[in-house]
Amino acid sequence: MAKKSKVAKNEQRKQLAARYAARREALKETIRTAASLEERMAAQSALAKLPRDSNRNRIVNRCALTGRPRGFLRRFGLSRIAFREKALSGEIAGVIKSSW
């Protein structure tokens, strides 16, 4: 089980990223298409002044059950350990243990 503070911090990052998404995208578009150097520099400095955690890249994929950041399976939203426990107990539809 991950620390509750880490899980809470990641949730805060998700909220910040959602709040600033439009503003970040507008500034990035300005940087890409700016005609003058001054305009581009102003947009870059405005982008740099936004909170770091408002960047989508800082959001960590975490297990929905345990909060574990490593071994995350995107398709199920679980870590490998939680996935195996759920799959073996038959709680995930369509997943069966393979044998050959």
Q: Are residues 21 and 51 in the same domain?
A: yes
Q: Are residues 89 and 51 in the same domain?
A: no
> Are the beta carbons of 78 and 86 closer than 8 angstroms?
yes
What's the whole-number mean pLDDT along residues 59-88?
Answer: 95
For 1-37, write each residue's pLDDT tens digit. 889 999 999 999 999 999 999 999 999 999 999 889 9
CATH of the domain at 32: 1.10.287.1480
What domain range is 82 assigned to? 61-99
Question: Can you read off the two tokens belonging to residue 15?
Answer: 């909220």
Q: Please state, as a whole number, how many other Cβ atoms lie within 10 Å of the Cβ of residue 62.
A: 20
Question: Can you read off the two tokens belonging to residue 6?
Answer: 């880490």
20 vs 41: CA distance, rounded Å: 20
